[in-house]
A = this chain, B = another copy of it.
């Protein structure tokens, strides 16, 4: 191995340990940490982040990177690691250490503030913190923006390299134009299947048991993973032998089954990353869009498909008990595929989902590009929900406060959900040409599907971009038309 690269690896290893420690603190603070710990723990996270930044911006490391770039004999993987490391160093160098640390401490405490505001349905409790976060994010984006680059494009770049506003604006507009007529038609036809049994007083114990069972059935390896509980479901990745998912139990099969399948999709991705990439700068999914493509593929394309449920429906129904035990598979499938404009993104059907995302995308643009103060957001949010979806939140908790993302400083993330769905559709339509997916599901052979995804997507971590992966898998560039085709096929029949 190249000697200089070996030296670089020592730095990478130390940085990875500091990052893993921060990730563990974050996991802990959302799942277990006692309430009063927040302030001191935020200081610890701040200090670890500061040490991470210092390590990554160390002039010695930079000299090594420059030296290594001149040398020959690097493998493709090493070159990829070097490139991503350089990008990370550049980003970290652009932020003054004091601001970086203060921001990390702010974020470490912000989830708690959001949680309380949501529980009390009072956006004003969260607004000052949110404004602070927005201001930091804008400043940080301005530090690394290239000449003439829009700040929100800088933020989008973090999550999906090739999709800026110039691409996303028409993407969302097309979706809206294509999907709204279908939604209107379905709503007009008033197909309202019985969904009462999806929320029917199921015990916490049975919800937990079902969640565990379904996660394992889908392909979660609990030898390398954990299922926990948090206010908002998420997946956290320490390394490819320790990936953790959470859910929140709300007495709804949406949260104990479909949300768990979604997070399991994320986890399968991270667990499939190659051993030589884990704990390096390339050690997680290619992009958030590609990540959401995997989670939404499992949740929707597979998880809401009759063939998927055929081998296990009876067993899952038995875990939940009545009334689910009295519901036919056919009625269950109709219920979990109902199209109904609603208030909550994570419960949305596949057709209306993109509209939920579009609203967030538009609000983020307003916050970042138009300097709209956050105090005006609830009213704008409610108005847009009325306009796009025909429903209006009565409380902040079911409106502007429903998502954790902004409290974690995640601006530019939401579009990944819609992009991910579109990636998933394109990959799925291609996949169907190479294997009989429904037959595999009927036979319970989830592992064949997982192996396909691992081989073609997961193993590479961040070694390829999302766009490259789509090209390599499907032989075509990304085409959002496949998403519309997939949805039309599913919902017009």
Contact = CB atoms under 8 A, between A and B. Distances in A.
Contact of A24 (B25, B47, B228, B279): B25
A238 B41 contact: yes
A260 interface: no
A17 B51 contact: yes
Contacts of A35: 223-224
B34 A224 contact: yes
A17 B47 contact: yes
Contacts of A48: 17-18, 21
A278 B17 contact: no
Contacts of A239: 37, 40-41, 44
A20 B47 CA distance: 11
A358 to B, nearest CB: 37
A148 to B, nearest CB: 39
Contacts of A41: 238-239, 241-242
A296 to B, nearest CB: 25
Interface residues of A, number: 39
A43 B16 CA distance: 10
A241 B24 contact: no
Contact of A226 (B14, B32, B43, B238): B32
A472 interface: no
A241 B39 contact: yes
Contact of A14 (B17, B25, B40, B47): B47
Nearest to A47: B17
A101 to B, nearest CB: 11
Nearest to A242: B37
Contacts of A32: 226, 228
A51 B37 CA distance: 25
A242 B21 contact: no
Contacts of A50: 14
Contact of A224 (B36, B221, B240): B36
15 contacts: A13-B47, A14-B50, A18-B21, A18-B48, A21-B21, A24-B25, A35-B224, A36-B241, A37-B241, A41-B239, A41-B241, A41-B242, A44-B239, A44-B279, A51-B51
Given A40-B240, A41-B239, A44-B279, 8 more contacts: A13-B43, A16-B44, A17-B51, A34-B222, A35-B223, A37-B238, A40-B241, A44-B238
